Each structure stands twice: as C-alpha cells, then as structure tokens.
Amino acid sequence: MRFSFHHDNLVALKTDLLALYCAEDKLGEGTVFQALDRALEGLLTRLIAEEQFKGKKAQSLQIHTHGRIGPARILLLGGGPRREMQPHDLRGFAARAAKAGAAASAKQVAAVLPYTEGAVQERAAQFMAEGARLGRYRFDKYLTGDKKTPDTVEEFQIGMTSDNVESGRLEAIQRGVARGERVGAAVARARDLVNEPAAVMTPTALSEMAKQVAKEHHLEVKVLGRKECEKLGMGMYLAVAQGSEEEPRFLQLSYFPKTKVPGRKKIALVGKGVTFDSGGLSLKPSASMEDMKIDMAGAATVISAIGALAELGSPHEVHAFAACTENMPSGKAYRLGDVLTSMNGKTVEINNTDAEGRLTLGDAITYALREVKPDELFDFATLTGACMVALGPHTAGVMGSDLSLVERWLGAARLAGEEMWHLPLPEKLKEQLKSEVADMKNTGDRWGGALTAGLFLREFVGETPWVHVDLAGPASADKESGHVTKGGTGFAVATIVEYLVPRE
Ligand code: BES
Ligand code: MN
Ligand code: ZN
C-alpha cells in the first residue's frame, strides 16, 4: 500500500472512496463535509437525516456519487462524541476506511485527516498509516480458492484541508506516515510469527526468522543451542525444554546505533518464547490449550520491535532476547517436585509445570544482565491467565521495581494507544512462593497469580531498573475490531517504538 497526500480540492479528487470521520456532536460541521455537501446539492445532509446517521461509534453511511464529483463514493464513519475521540482512534478510522475500500474493490482509498492542530498531527498521521496497514492485515497463507480475498487497495490517500497545509505542516504529516508504515510493518510481522501454527513456528523456525530480521535490519544475531545453554547453567529453561522433541533455541539480537548521542541508554528486551504451551505434565485441558501457539508472542514482539528500532534509527543500544522452547509432556518431561538450579544459582521447586514461562524468563533475564549489563530491562510475556482475570482481555498488566521507569513506560503506552495498567508487587505475597526444599516454588496459590509471577521474576532481576509486561490478554484477539485483527495482535511493538525512538 502506497501513501499519498492531497490538499487541493478534495471535491475534485479522483478516488474510488473518500472517508470522513464524523464526531457525533459536530455532525455536518467540517469544511470538507460542507464542500462535498454543496457540490452534491445538499444530498449528504438529506441522507444523514433520512438514514438516521448520527456519527455514533461504529455507525457508517456510504453513498455513490455517480460521477457528480471526484470521489466515486463518500463514506461517513461515526467517531462518537468529540470529547471522547483520541488521536489513536484514527487507527480504527483508517482501518474501517481501508476495509470498506477493499469491500468495494477500490484501488484508491482516501481518508481525511481530522486534526488540524500542529502537535498532534504527526501522531494522527502515524495512526492513520498504522490503521490502514493493520486493518487490512490477513493471515491467509493457508486459505485456498475464494476463501482468500485479494487486497485491491493500492493507494491510501491522506486528504488534508487547506488549514493543514498553509501552516506548512506537510513535513510533520509525512514523517508521521513514514513512522506509522514502519510500526505497522513490524506489528504485522509480529502477528505473522504468532499466527503461524506451532508445528511450523518451532524454536528453530523462530530462530531462523530472527536471523532474517537481523539480515534485513543489519543487526547482530546470536543463537545458542542446548549444549551452550547447559554450559551456561540455564537449568530452569532447559528443564522446560527437556520434554519436547524440538531443540531449544536461545536468541539474541543486538542493535548498535551509528551515532553516539548524550543520554544513550543500553536496553534489554526479553520476550517469552514458548512456541507451544501444552502445560507439560500439568497438562492443560483442551479448551485452554487450543490457543497456546500464541505463547511466543513476547518473543515475536521483541524480535519485530528491534527491527523497527533499527529502521527508525533509535539512539539507544538495544538487545532482544528470547529463550525459545516448547512445553510438552513426555517421558523426558520435567516433573512436579523436581528441584531446578537456575543460571543465577537460585533453586526452584516445581509445583506446576504449566508455570513454565517464568522459568524460561528467569534464565533469559540472568543471561541478559550478564551479557549486556543494561540500564533498563523490559520483559514481555503471555505469562498468566490471572492477569486476564484481573484486567480483561485487552489490557496488559505492568509490574516493576522502579516506579519512575514504570511511569515512563506507561506514558509511552498511552501515547502509542496501547492499554496497559500498573499492578503491584506486594511483598506479602512472597510467602506464597516459599518452599521447604528449595529457595522457592514456581507457583503460588490462586489469588494474585499475576503478581506472584511478577514476584518470581523479580528474584532474577537484581538492582537493574525493570518493567514486566504481562500481555496474556492483549497478545491475541478473538475477534476483529478496527486495526486489531483476529489472532496475534503484535501488542507492545508500538509502545516499544514510542519509548525508544524520540520525535524531532
Ligand atoms: N501461557 C500461559 C498463560 C496464558 C493463559 C497465556 C491464557 C495466554 C492465555 C502460562 O504459561 C500458564 O499456563 N500460566 C498458568 C500459571 C499457573 C499454573 C500458576 C495459568 O495462568 O494458569
Ligand atoms: Mn503454561
Ligand atoms: Zn505459557
């Protein structure tokens, strides 16, 4: 999809479809709406009354213009009350416009950028590009015949009113679009990795994908096998891996910025890379296992995000890590009651083999700390069902040892339009992890399951400022909505970019 910009007469713009975003309480007020309505001799005003189009969220109205003006179709998309509209809603707007265009077999789709104020324009344009790209995302490689619908939309035109342009803001808008295209591509890549069945996206396949990302974006890549991880003493990670026929693969991707700027930080991004989570001997019931190819979403996020960081020229040195493995039951699988020795020397009694993520992450965190001594460490993991119970399916739980870092991270999430919420790490809950035979157990009891998982990870972090993002809910979606498509979502890629790539 190509993006282009139009600021002369939108009434004359030759396009297959022109979409307008309409606030509920400002219906009919925009200059573009009024110009189109005038050219159509009041048709739009009459139709919105007849069809009871009020501009409510999810409401839409499409008309054919039959050659009377430039755009062949006008699409009005409701945005809800003006005061509730946020720049990141533009992802949904652009996604809806692109989808309507595809449904009409349109080659060109135009959407009017609703913001005219400077500061938000770059972001607004970024969200439009992300939305147009991601709303049309399909994982259709396994579909055959007419189940596969071709994407007809070749050009996404961003329409602006003269106020946008007169103030010389085209550059900011173009910058926003360029950034949105890159974020969109990285999110789409993360979705692809997650959506691929576990039989295909094995730890080895994931490491090959990481190598491909490294090649594309000129990153350094290191892949460790079982033997090397044994030498490093990754007892927790390898215990999870021992039940599977698939070889474990520990990945590291590294990005070094070309120029040294003051304030440059060293960042470690650790992603959970369980390519299939059956639960191991603490086997999951079938319904809970059905989706467990998504358990490498954290790895998919960090692998894809570091590519975007390199492309956008982040000033920070960034390293991505993922301890990839399956969690399978077998005669070789790790057992309940086993005592594991982690890479940092702490011992862990296993009371549930389905709490495997924290084991793989614990060793990955220890490795990351020793290998790069980061200034800040972030981990991303589909870690607990309890986090979804607490926050619902669309919001990630954020925990951390450094409150100011947590705040800065949440600020980036807000700007990127990704829902995340701070959860505590209550000291008192550490009791739940007490063991008689080892330094700790790997699971606590039912209450506060997301928090005991966070407390478990904290044991491996030490003094490094750290943020833990439990994305068990938002990593995948069970239905399509705006720019979010069913299946893997690529969640957190946009926030990582927002956090690590400053704007001009
Ligand atoms: N991968 C799961 C968590 C998960 C659940 C992710 C649902 C996405 C959707 C994780 O490994 C797991 O099984 N967690 C257990 C922890 C429990 C055994 C303490 C859980 O949440 O039930
Ligand atoms: Mn599990
Ligand atoms: Zn898991």
Ligand 1 test: best mutation among 276, 296, 383, most atoms within 8 Å of CB? Answer: 383
% pLDDT > 90, the chain: 90
| pLDDT, position 169 | 78
Q: Which ligand is nearest to the CA of 290?
A: 1
| Predicted pLDDT of residue 65 | 97
Tell me the pairing of strands 108-112 and 155-159. parallel
- The predicted pLDDT at position 171 comes to 87
Q: Please indicate, yes or no, whether residues 218 and 316 belong to a single structural domain of this protein.
A: yes
Indicate whether 111 and 218 sit together in one domain.
no
Q: How confident is the model at residue 164 (pLDDT cuts 50, 70, 90)?
A: low
Which of 107, 130, 162 is the last residue in one of the domains? Answer: 162
Q: Give residues (CB < 6 A) around ligand 1.
A: 277, 295, 352, 354-357, 382-386, 443, 449, 472
Same domain, 203 and 116: no
Q: Are residues 262 and 382 in the same domain?
A: yes
Which ligand 1 atom is at minimum distance from the Cα of 327?
11
- For residue 235, how far is its CA from the centre of ligand 1 (angstroms)? 21
59 and 112 assigned to the same domain: yes
- d(CA 424, CA 420) in angstroms, rounded, equals 13
Mean pLDDT of the 223-246 span: 98
Q: What CATH number has the domain bearing residue 478?
A: 3.40.630.10
53 domain residue, yes or no: yes
* pLDDT tens digits, one per residue of 446-482: 999 999 999 999 999 999 999 999 999 999 999 999 9
Q: What is the pLDDT of residue 9?
A: 87
Alpha-carbon distances, residue 424 vs 111, 381, 387, 410, 467 (angstroms): 42, 17, 12, 14, 12
Identify the band that residue 287 occupies on the pLDDT scale cut at 50, 70 and 90: very high
What does the block give as tokens for 73?
Answer: 């179709």
Is it the case that residue 166 has pLDDT exceeding 80?
Answer: no
Residue 258 lies in a domain: yes
Say yes or no: 425 and 456 in one domain.
yes
Please compute the mean of the pLDDT values over residues 229-240 and round it to a whole number. Answer: 98
Closest by Cα among 477, 190, 206 to 306:
190
Identify the pLDDT of residue 163. Answer: 63
Q: Is 284 a catalytic residue?
A: yes
Q: Is residue 176 assigned to a domain?
A: no
**pLDDT surpasses 90 at 24:** yes
pLDDT range class, residue 45, cuts 50, 70, 90:
very high
Both 304 and 433 in one domain: the answer is yes
Residue 349 located in a structural domain: yes
- Summarize the confidence of residues 366-377 as an average pLDDT: 98
Same domain, 376 and 421: yes
Same domain, 283 and 318: yes
Degrees to nearest 5, angle at CA 417 with 122 and 487: 120
Q: What is the DSSP string of 95-118?
A: HHHHHHHHHTT-SEEEEE----SH
More confident residue, 308 or 169: 308
Section 196-216 average pLDDT: 98
Residue 168 has pLDDT above 70, yes or no: no
Average pLDDT, the chain: 96
**Pairwise pLDDT comparison (151 vs 95), residue with the higher score:** 95
Residue with CA closest to ligand 1 atom 14: 384
What pLDDT, in 10s, does the model give residues 70-117? 999 999 999 999 999 899 999 999 999 999 999 999 999 999 998 766
User: Which pLDDT score is estimated for 162?
Assistant: 67
Chain mean position to CA 392 = 17
Per the domain annotation, does 204 fall within a domain?
A: yes
Count the domains in the chain: 2
- Count the neighbouring beta carbons within 10 Å of the beta carbon of residue 142: 11
> What percentage of the chain reaches a pLDDT higher than 70?
98
Cα 355 to middle of ligand 2, angstroms: 5
Say how far apart CA 79 and CA 77 lie, in whole Å. Answer: 6
Residue 38 — very low, low, confident or very high, per pLDDT cuts 50/70/90?
very high
Domain boundary among 120, 147, 162: 162
Please name the residues in contact with 119: beta carbons below 8 A apart, sequence gap of 6 or more. none
Sheet holding 440-441, edge to edge: 339-341, 347-349, 440-441
Q: Is 216 in the same domain as 347?
A: yes
How sure is the predictor about 132, in pLDDT bands with cuts at 50, 70 and 90? very high
| Ligand 3 centroid to residue 456 C-alpha, Å | 15
Catalytic member of 175, 266, 284, 408: 284
Residue ending a domain, choose from 114, 130, 162: 162
Of 69-78, 149-158, 272-281, 378-387, where does mean pLDDT reach its minimum? 149-158
**What average pLDDT does the segment 259-283 reach?**
96
The domain of 316 spans 185-500
Residue 168 lies in a domain: no
Mean per-residue pLDDT, 325-337: 98
CB-CB contact of 236 with 342 (8 Å): yes
The CATH number covering residue 38 comes to 3.40.220.10
Catalytic (active site) residue 358: yes
Question: Do residues 158 and 212 share a domain?
Answer: no
Tokens 């995948």 found at: 476
At 55, list the tokens. 């501009």
Distance, CA of 320 to CA of 55 (rounded, Å) = 43
Residue 308 has pLDDT above 80, yes or no: yes
Dihedral (C-alpha) 460, 323, 259, 307: value to the nearest 10 degrees?
-140
- Quick check: 213 pLDDT over 90? yes
Give the closest residue (by CA) to ligand 1 atom 17. 355
pLDDT exceeds 80 at position 483: yes
- Same structural domain for residues 276 and 325? yes
Predicted model pTM: 0.97
Region 14-38: mean pLDDT is 93
The whole-number pLDDT of residue 468 equals 99
Taking the CA of residue 443 as reference, the ligand 1 atom at the shortest distance is 19
Which residues of 79-207 form beta strands (DSSP E)?
108-112, 155-159
Would residue 217 count as lying in a domain? yes
The reported pLDDT for the residue numbered 160 is: 86
- Residue 350 falls within a domain, yes or no? yes
Residue in 278, 283, 354 to alter for ligand 1 test, most ligand atoms within 8 A of Cβ: 354
CA–CA gap between residue 85 and residue 186 (Å, rounded): 26
